[in-house]
């Protein structure tokens, strides 16, 4: 990719980054992780990040920043104080409840389910063991995939993902082949 294309993509990414308003439906931790990743991708230094952060805040968080900006000696200090101020004390409990009840939807790909469960595991306990993560992954996996994944007994979440994706692909192939056979039989009987 050309330098101009990369610059355009980075510019659009920064423009599309949602502002933090402190509303109850916003997760301060997730927002900060996403923003930090965007800054890293755009190669924004910590000094630059501290200078431009007000453009990503609105409402009372922006007011909070303006009232406290002289105390933010570094980006890491800002992040610590921001998260202390805006992280929801119940976010871990909400994530835990979601993790306990998380089920793979009928139309949901394994990778989507896996990514969400792993994110919830990290929110609930950043040092959660692989065995616990596997328990959560198995708990909500579609029953059509469960038997074969259990048979392989993966020992890590990444091995679980690999096995579950293999089974998902096989299910898709079998379903497609069965559908084609049904279509062929229907066409043969109509002639």
What's the CA gap between 76 and 23, in Å, rounded?
A: 23
What's the CA gap between 70 and 43, in Å, rounded?
A: 24
Write down the pLDDT at residue 188. 56
Where does the pLDDT of residue 23 fall: very low under 50, low under 70, confident under 90, or very high at 90 and above? confident
Q: What is the pLDDT of residues 26-37, one digit of tens each?
A: 888 889 999 999
**Residue 136 near residue 121 (C-beta atoms within 8 A):** yes
137, 172: one domain: yes
Q: Where are the beta strands (DSSP E) in 7-159?
A: none
Where does the pLDDT of residue 10 fall: very low under 50, low under 70, confident under 90, or very high at 90 and above? low
- Domain boundaries, position 24: 3-86
Write down the pLDDT at residue 159. 96
25: helix, strand or coil? coil
Write down the pLDDT at residue 182. 65
125, 105: one domain: yes
Where does the pLDDT of residue 6 fall: very low under 50, low under 70, confident under 90, or very high at 90 and above? low
Print the SS3 string covering 141-184: CCHHHHHHHHHHCCCCHHHHHHHHHHHHHHHHHHHHHHHHHHHH
36, 95: one domain: no
**Residue 75 near residue 39 (C-beta atoms within 8 A):** no
* Among candidate residues 27, 62, 86, the one where a domain is terminated: 86
| Domain count within the chain | 2
pLDDT beyond 90 at 46: yes
**Residue 83 near residue 29 (C-beta atoms within 8 A):** yes
What's the CA gap between 159 and 37, in Å, rounded?
A: 26
């Amino acid at each position: 990719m050309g330098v101009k294309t990369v610059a355009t993509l980075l510019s659009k990414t920064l423009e599309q980054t949602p502002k933090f308003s402190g509303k109850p439906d916003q997760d301060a931790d997730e927002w900060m992780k996403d923003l930090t990743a965007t800054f890293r991708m755009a190669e924004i230094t910590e000094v630059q990040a501290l200078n431009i952060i007000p453009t990503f805040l609105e409402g009372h968080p922006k007011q909070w920043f303006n009232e406290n900006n002289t105390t933010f000696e570094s980006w890491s200090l800002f992040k610590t104080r921001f998260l202390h101020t805006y992280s929801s004390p119940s976010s871990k409990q909400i994530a835990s409840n979601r993790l306990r009840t998380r089920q793979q939807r009928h139309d949901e790909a394994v990778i989507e389910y896996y990514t969400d469960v792993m994110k919830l595991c990290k929110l609930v306990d950043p040092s959660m063991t692989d065995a616990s993560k596997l328990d959560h992954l198995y708990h909500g996996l579609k029953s059509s995939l469960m038997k074969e994944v259990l048979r392989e007994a993966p020992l890590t979440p990444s091995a679980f993902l690999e096995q579950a994706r293999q089974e998902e692909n096989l299910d898709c192939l079998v379903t497609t082949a069965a559908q084609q056979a049904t279509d062929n039989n229907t066409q043969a009987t109509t002639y």
